[in-house]
Amino acid sequence: MKRKNNKFNKRPQNPLNKLSLFQKSDSRFSKKCPLSGKEAPIIDYKNVKLLRRYVSDTNKIMPSRITSVSQNKQRKLTSEIKKAKILGLI
Amino acid sequence: MSFYEHTIIAKQDLSTPELNNIEKKYKEIITDTDGKLIKVEKWGLLSFAKKIRSYNKGFYIHYKFEAENKTLDEIKRNSIIDNSLLRHLTVKYKKLDTETEYFKENNEKKK
């Protein structure tokens, strides 16, 4: 007996397969968090290369709604970025 | 006993024997107050993102050690008083990873 994978059947496979024109497609907003999961980079105040990606040109912390970082990791990011700012690395 | 990291920024216009004296001084403070020194990293001369007290660059020295409260008090007290330092930061860790060095590549390129 094969089990049906309900996860994949939930979403419409074709983006044009919508009820109305104004309905927003799910696939656009289903972005995974880049800092969680296996083989994720370590968030640390010494890892300046990674922290630079989550800071704007004027050294402000980017909101998670743009970078799609999960809530737990965003809290860690902010604390590490502030530590790096004390040492003048960012 | 728990693990700590301590980083110091020294002024740019110091000579090399003065820098070595500073490095020695904080090593001795850790070992004299029953702390275990695990690793010392010299990050070398790095440029700041912003000016700190009208300096553009500074020497970074990084300590990893295992110690109790009284060594922390000594280190913080000394690094505030010290005139040759610009800034300092201590961070507590549950586990220290001594393998990854983020600032190693920068030093090799300069040489």
At A68, phi and psi to the nearest 5?
Answer: 55, 40
| Band (B35; pLDDT cuts 50, 70, 90) | confident
Residues of A in contact with B89 (CB under 8 A): 83, 86-87
pTM: predicted TM-score of the whole model, two decimal places? 0.77
Cβ–Cβ gap B87/A59 under 8 Å: no
| Band (B55; pLDDT cuts 50, 70, 90) | very high
Cβ–Cβ gap B58/A88 under 8 Å: yes
Cβ–Cβ gap A90/B7 under 8 Å: no
Q: What is the pLDDT of residue A37?
A: 86
DSSP-based three-state secondary structure for A10: helix
Tokens of A49: 């290369």
At B46, phi and psi to the nearest 5?
Answer: -120, 150
Cβ–Cβ gap A86/B87 under 8 Å: yes
Q: What is the pLDDT of residue B95?
A: 86
Integer Cα distance of B62 and B44 in angstroms: 10
Integer Cα distance of B58 and B14 in angstroms: 10
What are A44-82's pLDDT values in tens digits? 898 888 999 999 999 899 999 888 899 999 999 999 999
| Band (B90; pLDDT cuts 50, 70, 90) | very high
Preferred mutation among B3, B5, B6, B7 to probe A, highest tally of A CBs within 10 A: B7
Cβ–Cβ gap B9/A87 under 8 Å: yes
Question: Has residue B96 got a pLDDT over 60?
Answer: yes
Q: Which element (helix H / strand E) includes B2?
A: strand B2-10
Work out how many CB contacts closer than 8 A connect A with B: 29
What is the average pLDDT across B80-105?
A: 86
Pairing of strands B36-52, B85-93: unpaired
CB of B64 within 8 A of CB of B98? Answer: yes
Cβ–Cβ gap B49/A90 under 8 Å: yes
**Angle value at C-alpha B13, between B7 and B18, nearest 5 degrees:** 65
Q: Hey, what amino acid is at B83?
A: N
Question: Has residue B48 got a pLDDT over 70?
Answer: yes
Residues of B in contact with A85 (CB under 8 A): 49
Question: Has residue B106 got a pLDDT over 80?
Answer: no
Of A41, A39, A37, nearest in space to A52 by CA: A41
CB of B48 within 8 A of CB of B86? Answer: no
Integer Cα distance of B53 and A72 in angstroms: 35
Residues of A in contact with B50 (CB under 8 A): 88
Residue B95 DSSP code? S
Cβ–Cβ gap A89/B102 under 8 Å: no
Question: Has residue A6 got a pLDDT over 60?
Answer: no
What is the average pLDDT across A36-42?
A: 87
Residues of B in contact with A47 (CB under 8 A): 102
User: Contacts for A74-80 with beta carbons within 8 Å, 24 or more apart?
Assistant: A76/A43, A77/A35, A77/A43, A77/A51, A80/A43, A80/A44, A80/A45, A80/A51
Chain B nearest-CA distance from A47, in A, is: 6
Q: What is the predicted ipTM? A: 0.83
Question: Has residue A30 got a pLDDT over 70?
Answer: no
